[in-house]
Amino acid sequence: MSSYLKELEKYRDIDEDEILRTLSPEELEQLDCELQEMDPENMLLPAGLRQRDQTKKSPTGPLDRDALLQYLEQQALEVKERDDLVPFTGEKKGKPYIQPKREIPAQEQITLEPELEEALAHATDAEMCDIAAILGMYTLMSNKQYYDAICSGEICNTEGISSVVQPDKYKPVPDEPPNPTNIEEILKRVRSNDKELEEVNLNNIQDIPAPMLTELCAAMKTNTYVRSFSLVATRSGDPIANAVADMLRENRSLQSLNIESNFISSTGLMAVLRAVRENATLTELRVDNQRQWPGDAVEMEMATVLEQCPSIVRFGYHFTQQGPRARAAQAMTRNNELRRQQKKR
């Protein structure tokens, strides 16, 4: 170590500026290239930062991508293909494999009645497949072929035993027709308290303006004939949930409310649940399938509301926690039993 330190001592008093002044422009350029920190294996860096720019020529013009691709294709076509080491002549060598016939020992030979021998000799592949399934030879076929033969009373396997299993062909299900409800007309009928309007169904109408839904909820406060109010998949958020909560505090005729498949957060659901406590006529409430999970506090509040509101006999929500789920199930059982006893009276 001491010799190494002594070797470094002679470089201590070197004047770096003087050395740089004595270098030529070519040497300075080479020194600059050596000092650049490059990482050619770092895939996160652009190509220009992974290696030094060693181009000495000036650009001939702007990039013409089509001309470049055409040049590369022409170059590829002009390159001569490499000759094969062994030229292909199409000659077949060797003998084809013929599987030897296996003779069945005498003790393994089975003799059937002439009628059965004749029936099996003329049986189709589908019939042989069903017979194998009935005899329990499930290793000779797929699970679908086996269960189709066992569960069906007819010959349903159209393929043979050694055939390739085909996927099931399902009939295409047509899309549901769009909701034909005229929102403006419904709003007028709700405001006028129309006796014939007992159900407001706005499901799957995703272009309803939020102010119009708020006006509809405000009109529902004084309506006395609408029994069912459904806003499924209408892209409703917390402002609509707050309007629904205000409606529940004043409406005394609504029996069913469905706000599933919307963008209501935990804050909006809590507002609706608190308003349900002040409503004694609501019997059905559905709030499942929102954009985000409401959380443990909302699920506990749901269970508490079901326990404190005996009028609710149908509740739509999939609980993720065991505690609120058990409490809600017990509350729903009690509420339905109370409703059954009231009907008997």
Give the pLDDT confidence score for residue 167 in this predicted structure.
65
Q: pLDDT-derived band of residue 302, with 50, 70 and 90 as boundaries?
A: very high
* pLDDT bucket at 138, cuts 50 / 70 / 90: low
CATH ID of 187-344, from 3.40.50.2300, 3.80.10.10, 3.30.1380.10, 3.20.130.10: 3.80.10.10
Average pLDDT over residues 3-27: 81
* pLDDT above 70 for 164: no
Instruction: Say which range, 12-26, 157-171, 192-206, 267-281, has the weakest mean pLDDT.
Output: 157-171
Could you tell me the pTM of the whole model?
0.54
Distances in whole angstroms, Cα of residue 175 to Cα of each of 91, 160, 179, 180, 181? 59, 36, 12, 15, 17
Q: Please, which pLDDT band fits residue 166 given cuts at 50, 70 and 90?
A: low
Distances (CA, A) of 98 to 90, 92, 101, 162, 184: 22, 16, 9, 20, 80
Dihedral (Cα; 174, 178, 179, 182), 10-degree rounding: -160
Report pLDDT for 250: 94
Domain with CATH 3.80.10.10 in the chain: 187-344
pLDDT, tens digit (0-9, with 9 covering 90-100), for 63-108: 889 999 999 999 999 988 888 778 778 888 888 888 888 777 777 7
The H or E element that residue 229 is part of is strand 228-230
Q: Cβ distance 93 to 121 under 8 Å?
A: no
Residue-wise pLDDT tens digits, 179-202: 999 999 999 999 999 999 999 999
Average pLDDT, the chain: 84
Looking at residue 168, its pLDDT comes to 66
Half-sphere CA count of 46, side-chain side, radius 13 A: 3
Instruction: Determine the straight-line distance between the first and last CA of the chain, rounded to whole angstroms.
Output: 106
DSSP 3-state of 340: helix
Among 46-55, 186-195, 259-268, 285-294, the range scoring the smallest mean pLDDT is 46-55
pLDDT tens for 239-260 read 999 999 999 999 999 999 999 9
